[in-house]
């Protein structure tokens, strides 16, 4: 008989996770060069699996390779961020639609719990906690209705959106006191098994972020 259940994980997959979270919580900053030898030593491995992981991350656009110059943490221009949010708009619209079609009773409970500390009306103060809930919200919806495929694409975008921190609020573009309403509405549509509504609301939600980004970009260009 064959031993199928074995869960072996290569070093590069572990390193991949480590670097990903280092980018996520800003231990590695956008634009920064990756010191291969140093980082490998720190992680207690050789350069081989590290490079392997970096190659993998290159494809997620979290890392950029400059041949003969090394690996760099990707730095996004605002135009690129707009383009990324446009992709998110249609993809997350899809995942909201699918979620509304397939959500189970247990998943409903979990989804409704996410923003329980942020009821509509009460002003939001803890931006960091809200930012975290926001991320969980988008990830969870992706997971409910989608095959592994879509989930992994969306997770990448999520990290990019996060990595591109805004000077003002903790990784958030729009004011939480505005977005909280969207979130509650989307959750309601999904829990009511309303695919069309869920898709429309999710797209609107992200469309407003895009609008905000475009405004910000226009301001930058004219000179703050």
CB of 68 to DNA, least distance (A): 4
Q: Which of DNA, its own copies, none is residue 11 near (CB under 5 to 8 Å by kind)?
A: DNA
What distance in Å separates the CA atoms of residue 98 and residue 143, rounded to the nearest whole number? 10
Per-residue binding letters, 20-49, with DNA (x by CB under 7 A): -------------xxxxxx------xxxxx
Residue with token string 């549509």: 189
Complex with DNA: residue 10 or 83, whichever CB lies closer? 10
Please, what is the end-to-end C-alpha distance for the chain in angstroms? 68
Q: Which of 65, 101, 136, 139 lies at the binding interface for DNA (CB under 7 A)?
A: 65
Per-residue binding letters, 11-50, with its own copies (x by CB under 8 A): -xx----------------------------------x--
Q: Which residues contact 164 (CB under 8 A, 6 or more apart)?
A: 30, 76, 81, 171
Question: Which token pair is 204?
Answer: 């609107």
Q: Counting every residue, how long is the chain?
A: 224
What distance in Å separates the CA atoms of residue 43 and residue 53, rounded to the nearest whole number? 13
- Work out the angle at residue 170's Cα, subtended by the Cα atoms of residues 42 and 25, and round it to the nearest 5 degrees: 10
Residues that bind DNA (CB under 7 A): 1, 6, 8, 10-12, 33-38, 45-49, 51, 65, 67-71
Residues that bind its own copies (CB under 8 A): 8-10, 12-13, 48, 51-52, 55-56, 58-61, 65, 67-68, 79-80, 83-84, 86-87, 89-91, 93-94, 98, 146-147, 149-150, 153
């Amino acid at each position: 008989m064959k031993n199928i259940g074995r869960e072996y994980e290569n070093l590069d997959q572990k390193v991949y996770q480590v670097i990903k979270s280092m980018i996520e919580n800003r231990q590695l900053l956008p634009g920064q060069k990756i010191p291969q030898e140093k980082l490998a030593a720190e992680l207690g491995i050789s350069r081989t699996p590290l490079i392997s992981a970096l190659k993998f991350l290159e494809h997620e656009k979290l890392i950029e390779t400059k041949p003969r110059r090394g690996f760099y943490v990707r730095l996004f221009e605002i135009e690129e961020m707009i383009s990324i949010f446009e992709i998110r708009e249609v993809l997350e619209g899809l995942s909201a639609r699918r979620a509304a079609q397939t959500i189970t009773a247990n998943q409903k409970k979990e989804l409704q719990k996410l923003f329980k500390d942020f009821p509509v009306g009460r002003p939001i103060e803890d931006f960091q906690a809200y930012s975290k809930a926001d991320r969980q919200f988008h990830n969870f919806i992706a997971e409910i209705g989608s095959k592994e495929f879509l989930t992994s694409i969306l997770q990448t975008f999520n990290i990019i959106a996060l990595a591109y921190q805004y000077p003002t609020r903790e990784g958030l573009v729009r004011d939480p006191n505005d977005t909280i309403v969207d979130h509650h509405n989307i959750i309601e549509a999904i829990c009511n098994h309303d695919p069309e509504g869920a898709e429309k609301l999710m797209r609107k939600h992200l469309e407003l972020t895009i609008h905000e980004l475009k405004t910000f970009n226009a301001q930058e260009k004219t000179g703050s």
